[in-house]
Structure 1
Amino acid sequence: MEKNTYQTIRTLIAAIAAALIGSAVIMGNLLLAVITLILGVLISYFVRKNVYEVTEDERTYLVAGKASRTAMLSFLTIITVFGIGLLTMKNNFPEFTQAGFTLAYSACLFLILYSGFYFYYDKKHG
């Protein structure tokens, strides 16, 4: 299978899965949404195994790694600022205190996970 055909099929799979998951969410059927998601991933995986052209190389991994790191750091900064902002306003808006703690603890967990994976891959590849 050619790369262009693969990209077209992958786009169709994503569109169909999104429509089915959206319908399942509207109907309130979580099981159907999860099954659709799993089937979409599996079908995508098996379709990709039939591609004979090179779809990924070292440059793709480098760009994906840099994009992931930038997105992660941006998201981490945003949730940290919002979390601390909500916690500083707890006297005026006490109903947002729990949301502030949740965002702050999520940022801490995110940093712990990142550090753990960084050290693991540094030892594995370093």
Structure 2
Amino acid sequence: MDRKKFVVYTALVCAGMGAAVGYGVSVRNALLPAIAFAIGFVLISLGRRRVTEVIEDERVIKISEKASRRVYQVFVTAAALIGVTLLALNRYIEVGYTLAFSACALPILYMIFYGYYRRRSL
């Protein structure tokens, strides 16, 4: 399978997953979205193995690392500011706490993974 066919295949699997999740939510069945996600993950993983071309190279991986780091920095900063603002204004308290706790939990998670990958040889 070439890369273009894999992209179409992945889009079709994701569309099927979206339909299954939407149907599961509409009939109030929590198990159906979980099963759809698991099956979709397996199908995409199996499809990726059949790709004969190079999907990612070192440059793409490096760009992805930089983009992920910037998204992380922007999200944590924005979540902290918005969360504290909502709490200070005494509006949407639950949303404010959720954003504030997310802004606290993500750096902890980052430090855990950083320590893991620092010790592990890349």
Q: TM-score, normalised by structure 2?
A: 0.89
**Aligned residue number for residue 109 of structure 2:** 113
Amino acid at match of 1:32: L
- Greater Rg by CA: 1
Amino acid at match of 2:101: Y
The alignment covers a number of residue pairs equal to: 122
Q: Aligned with 2:120: secondary structure?
A: helix
Q: Aligned with 2:55: secondary structure?
A: coil
Show CA shifts across 1:68-116 (max 9, x none).
11111111111101111022123xx4xx334323321221111111122
**Aligned residue number for residue 16 of structure 2:** 16
Q: Percent identity?
A: 34
Distance across 1 between alignment mates of 2:50 and 2:44: 10
Relative to structure 1, is the Cα distance of residues 5 and 98 closer, same or farther in structure 2, using a 3 angstrom cutoff? closer
Distance across 2 between alignment mates of 1:105 and 1:63: 29
Distance across 2 between alignment mates of 1:59 and 1:111: 26
Q: Does 1:83 align with 2:83?
A: yes
Structure 2 residues without counterparts, runs of 5 or longer: none
Structure 1 residues without counterparts, runs of 5 or longer: none
**Aligned residue number for residue 34 of structure 2:** 34
What is the RMSD of the two structures over their aligned residues, measured on CA atoms?
1.6
Relative to structure 1, is the Cα distance of residues 99 and 6 closer, same or farther in structure 2, using a 3 angstrom cutoff? closer
Relative to structure 1, is the Cα distance of residues 54 and 83 closer, same or farther in structure 2, using a 3 angstrom cutoff? same
Report how far residue 121 of structure 1 moved.
Answer: 1.5
Relative to structure 1, is the Cα distance of residues 36 and 98 closer, same or farther in structure 2, using a 3 angstrom cutoff? closer
Amino acid at match of 2:110: Y
